[in-house]
Chain A
Amino acid sequence: NAGVTQTPKFQVLKTGQSMTLQCAQDMNHNSMYWYRQDPGMGLRLIYYSASEGTTDKGEVPNGYNVSRLNKREFSLRLESAAPSQTSVYFCASGTGGFSSGANVLTFGAGSRLTVL
């Protein structure tokens, strides 16, 4: 099982360029998430999707858009990249239930983005 797959793993952009980070999961999870990780700041939630067809803003949504294309895929788009968006981006997925066994989120390996 692949789990959560993110592409690309590395990307260098120039200021003002656009790009899309792709995320796909094969675990039939309802919820999907995008985070960014910066040194000393932990993981900050950008957007999340509780189920197919819904998306919600997280803690740091400015400068990003998302699309929940179907149950498997959740993409993150930078329309006009800025140096402040240099970060490591993580996608995650999980089930929506409250029972303890259903609550572990699975993370992708991360995508390192540099904006010059």
Chain B
Amino acid sequence: EAGVTQFPSHSVIEKGQTVTLRCDPISGHDNLYWYRRVMGKEIKFLLHFVKESKQDESGMPNNRFLAERTGGTYSTLKVQPAELEDSGVYFCASSQGRTGDGNEQFFGPGTRLTVL
């Protein structure tokens, strides 16, 4: 079974440009999470989808970030316009069913975003 995949693995863009990150969760996983790690600091929660609905977007830093999950399958995270402080590694994770203790979050390899 394929794991969580993310695309691209790396992205280098200029300040002010737009970037779209994609996450494909494990098939059948209703829960999808976005996290990011900035400058070697802690990994921070961004938002949580259950199927196509946003359950919790309390971690989204500002309105330059837009996340979608079309049809409850893959998800995209768009940053527009990108700023220098957006540089970091963006992780996606997915889990089955309700988020009980038995439902492990499986992480993708991350997308490293560099804004110049």
Q: Tell me whether A and B are bound partners.
A: no
Chain B residues at the A interface, C-beta cutoff of 8 Å: none
Chain A residues at the B interface, C-beta cutoff of 8 Å: none
